[in-house]
Chain A
Amino acid sequence: MSCEVLVLYFAKSAELADVRSERICVAQQTTSQQLWQEIVSRHPRLAALRDHVILAVCQEYVSIGDQLLLLQPGDEVAIIPPISGG
């Protein structure tokens, strides 16, 4: 089963992907690593962020790894490069 999610790109990741947000179809059950790979396959320049990027799914941080996600249609997935607020 696949579903459409909204992917948001910020800061360096928005520059590399050259897009701020887009809807993509992904497997509903996926690991965060597979989800990241799917996004990188659409925007290969994002590979430059490897090992120093984290995801947020429905506004909660998710490390890129084996963690299993159960996505729902319309869920928000954000690409979060290292932060620098303050």
Chain B
Amino acid sequence: MNAVRMNEGTGEGKDMIKVTPEKLSAEEVSQMVISPCCGAVSLFIGTTRNSFEGKNVVRLEYEAYVLMAESEIKKICTEIRQKWPSVKHTAVYHRLGLVPVTEASVILAVSSPHRDESLEAVKYCINALKARVPIWKKEIYGEEEYCWKENKECFWAKQDKDPSLKNCQESSTAFSEMRLE
């Protein structure tokens, strides 16, 4: 049996991070982390749901503090490499703007030689992302009814389960959507 040396096996791991209004592709994101030295690619896909507490969600919109979101994601990737040094590549893609129900809002992929590390790293990554990456989701239920969601992982969120619509607007004044340049 010939021993084959794979350059990729000793090359640097890459963190591929994108916060984008473009539609996300699981195939594309998982391909980015493939490496000949890895027997495992773990993937997490967060998709948009059509209901929240019985309310029909018509559409969802995401906005981000893009530069900070990317730098917070990079910090999470660095932590992953400290916790699981065998992790090879990571890819974290988050979509912005209007995301139709059932489409992916976030896709994470991690490769490692064996499955335990990539599986654990992917779970750590989505939990950390929900806790501290500055991205916001607005659920829109109807003509003028919407709600800014709050992740339970966010430590500065109001944690009480007040059923009043604290972030929700039943009849909003028009708010012009402007993109931050």
A20 at the interface (CB under 8 A from B): yes
Partner of B157, one of A15, A52, A85: A52
With A82-B158, A85-B129 in contact, is A56–B134 under 8 Å at CB?
Answer: yes
Q: Is the CB of A84 within 8 A of B68?
A: no
Q: Is the CB of B133 within 8 A of A83?
A: yes
Note all chain B residues with C-beta closer than 8 A to A86.
Answer: 46, 105-106, 126, 129-130, 135, 151
Note all chain A residues with C-beta closer than 8 A to B41.
Answer: none
Number of A-B contacts (CB under 8 A): 90
B101 CB to nearest chain A CB (Å):
16
Partner of B67, one of A14, A21, A59, A83: A59
- Per the 8 Å Cβ criterion, residues 44-95 of B in contact with A are 46, 62-65, 67-69, 71, 94
Note all chain B residues with C-beta closer than 8 A to A14.
Answer: 175
Task: Return the chain A residue nearest B96 by Cβ.
Answer: A85
Question: From DSSP, what is the main secondary structure of chain B's interface residues?
Answer: mixed
- In the bound assembly, the distance between CA atoms of A76 and B23 in angstroms comes to 29
The stretch among A4-12, A23-31, A33-41, A67-75 that forms the contact with chain B is A4-12
Task: Return the chain B residue nearest A16 by Cβ.
Answer: B175
Give the size range of A's interface with the partner: 20 to 34
C-beta contact mask, A50-74 vs B, less than 8 Å → 1, else 0?
A: 0111101001010100000000000
Interface residues of A (CB under 8 A from B): 8, 10-12, 14-15, 18, 20-21, 51-54, 56, 59, 61, 63, 78, 80-86
Interface residues of B (CB under 8 A from A): 46, 62-65, 67-69, 71, 94, 105-106, 126, 129-130, 132-138, 148-151, 154, 156-158, 167, 172, 175, 178, 180
